[in-house]
Each structure stands twice: as C-alpha cells, then as structure tokens.
Amino acid sequence: MNPTTNSFMLEVKNLSKKFGEVHAVRNLSFQIRKGEVLGFLGPNGAGKTTTMRIITCYIPATSGVVHVDGMDTVNESLRVRERIGYLAETNPLYGDMCVREYLQFVGEIRGLKAPRLDSRIDEMFSVCGLTRMGNRQIGKLSKGFRQRVGLAQAMMHNPDLLLLDEPTAGLDPNQIIEIRQLIRKIGAEKTIIYCSHILSEVSATCSRIIIINEGQIVASGTADELTSRSTRGNRYILRLKADPGAVQGKLAAVSGVSSVTAHQVDRAGGWLAAEVLSGTQEDIGEAIFRCVVANGWSLAELRHETASLEEVFTQLTRG
C-alpha cells in the first residue's frame, strides 16, 4: 500500500493478544484518520497498554494486523517506528542530564544530524515551552516540566503519529491545563492517541473516543454521542416555590418522566429543589416548564443535565 495515498494514519484489524491463558486483547478493530485526536479509554487491565505496545512495535500480536500510514508493523517495523512518537506512562527520562543534552541524545538516536538536530531542539523548546529550561537538570524539574520534556522527546523526529499514555498523570490543575493546551496545539498538525483515566481531559481534548473493556471495544464516538446513549436518560433540576406533594404528583404525570424527587431547601421562603428523571432521550424540558406554569408555581431555575462521560464509562465497564 502506498503511504501517501492512505487516508488513515492507523488501521487496527482483528487484533488479538494472549499471554498464556490471559486474553488481553480480543479481535480489536478501529481506524484513525490523519489529523485526528483519539481518546483511548478503559479500566485497568482492559488492554490499552498492550494495544499501545503492539502499535509501537514493542511486542507482536498473537493475530491480526496493524498498519501505520499503510505500513505493516511486523514486516516494516523500522519504517513504522520512524513515523511514531511515544510518551509512556512512566516517562523515560535521564534525571542526571540537562534538558538540551537529553534532547540532543534522543535526536542522535533518531538519526538527526547538525544543523537539523540543533534547529529541531530549538523548535521543541518553543513548542513545548522549555526555552528557559535548556540548561536545567531534568531530575530537578517539576512534574509538569518533566512531562513537557517527555513530549519533546516523543516529537524530536517529527513523527506523524503520537501515542500519549497518561500525559497528565500526577499534575496539578494548572499543569494539566498547560499540557492540555499543548496537546491541542500539537493535535492541529499530528495524529494523536490520548490514553488517560482523567475522562474530563479526554472529553476536552479529543475529537473522538474509543472505550475498551476486557480487550474489546464497547463504545466509539464523540463525547456528546457517547453521553447521549447513556441508559440513565436525562435529568432536570428545578428550584421552585410550591407544595412538595403537589410537585411530585403533577410532574410525575408529565409524559416521559420516570421519577420525581423534591425536598425543601428554604423552609421560610417555601423554596424546593426537585430532580426529574426521564427514561427517554427526548428533551421534555418544555413540557416540565408548561406544567410549572399551569400550576402557578414560582420557578427560579430549570436546568437540563445529560449523563457525564464518567457515568457512561462506568455503565460500559462495570457490566
């Protein structure tokens, strides 16, 4: 297959991997288009790391094939590795080296020579926000800057496909925002597989999400598509002034409502907080509002909530 004419950066077809009696990956198939940022999710032991190791040519598959820009990871392993950058969950850094020295070392391993090597190091300093850290010892950097160095080493050879395994693990909120912005910037030019347990980060960063469980894909789509398929349905939160019994009875009669709970939050003012659950994916917010108006209740808030990605993940991976 001619790599220049292939629209998919990655194609995984019927991939399986067994370790003795343990079936880590089972008949896994998916594709990633060039320029796509894919979130790759699953609980511990789901097969994420095994899949990443097969894609990066670290271990062979038991069966199935993986193509990177049309190249087979078994028969064209060296060419595939040239096209891939990998940031492992355990960031492989040499703490006694300074940042520039380490990136020079990585670049030389990747076959870069001066002056291209020097210009690429300077480019990574700019892209990853490391300009003032060139002479700093890696072991003395904060976790956030060490992650930046890890991203820089993964991109030193200008790969087309980046695999990032838990790139924000252990970072504080400010560092997470910085790394998220960096990944978005990189994602404008590269194809990225983003593997993480921080689902809010995946939702904010990725254009599409795949969830795997026990080595198999259990869901695929955008964050909005996944949450819309939740079995929980929709939830409506109200703050209103009315009798609790009347609220429960009248709202329960609205078409599509599966349950209603209401309790007082301000006894002196007579305000209630109510939660209305719907067993349908249809938006019944207007019908709820009309019920409130028809009964003459004072309404301070009506908010529609869909299932979170965390709830969808739990439903799909806990059986």
pLDDT tens digit sequence for 264-300: 888 777 899 999 988 777 889 999 999 999 999 999 9
pTM score, whole prediction: 0.78
Amino acid at 209: I
Check residue 220 and give its pLDDT.
92
Q: Say which residues have a Cβ less than 8 Å from residue 171's Cβ, sequence separation at least 6.
A: 143, 144, 147, 179
**77-109 pLDDT per residue, tens:** 999 999 999 998 888 899 999 999 999 999 999
- Provide the 8-state DSSP code for 232: T
Q: Is the pLDDT of residue 5 over 90?
A: no
Q: Record the tokens describing residue 207, joined without a space.
A: 């254009």
Check residue 6 and give its pLDDT.
66
State which CATH number among 3.30.70.3100, 3.10.129.10, 1.10.3720.10, 3.40.30.10 fits the domain covering 234-306.
3.30.70.3100
- Among 22-31, 215-224, 225-234, 258-267, the range with the most confident prediction by mean pLDDT is 22-31
Check residue 3 and give its pLDDT.
45
- Number of C-alpha atoms within 13 angstroms, CB side, residue 119? 5
Task: Give the residue from 205, 210, 154, 163 showing the smallest Cα distance to 184.
Answer: 205
CATH superfamily of 3-228: P-loop containing nucleotide triphosphate hydrolases (3.40.50.300)
Cα→Cα distances 68→50, 78, 86, 154, 159, Å? 17, 11, 14, 16, 11
Q: Please report, for the chain, the start and end positions of each structural domain, with discontinuous segments joined by +.
A: 3-228, 234-306
> pLDDT class for 66, splitting at 50, 70, 90?
very high
Give the count of beta carbons closer than 10 Å to the beta carbon of residue 264: 12
Check residue 319 and give its pLDDT.
59
- Compare 39 and 310 and report the one with higher pLDDT: 39
Check residue 249 and give its pLDDT.
93
Are 3-228 and 234-306 in the same CATH fold? no
Mean per-residue pLDDT, 220-225:
87
Where is average pLDDT lowest: 12-16, 204-208, 248-252?
204-208
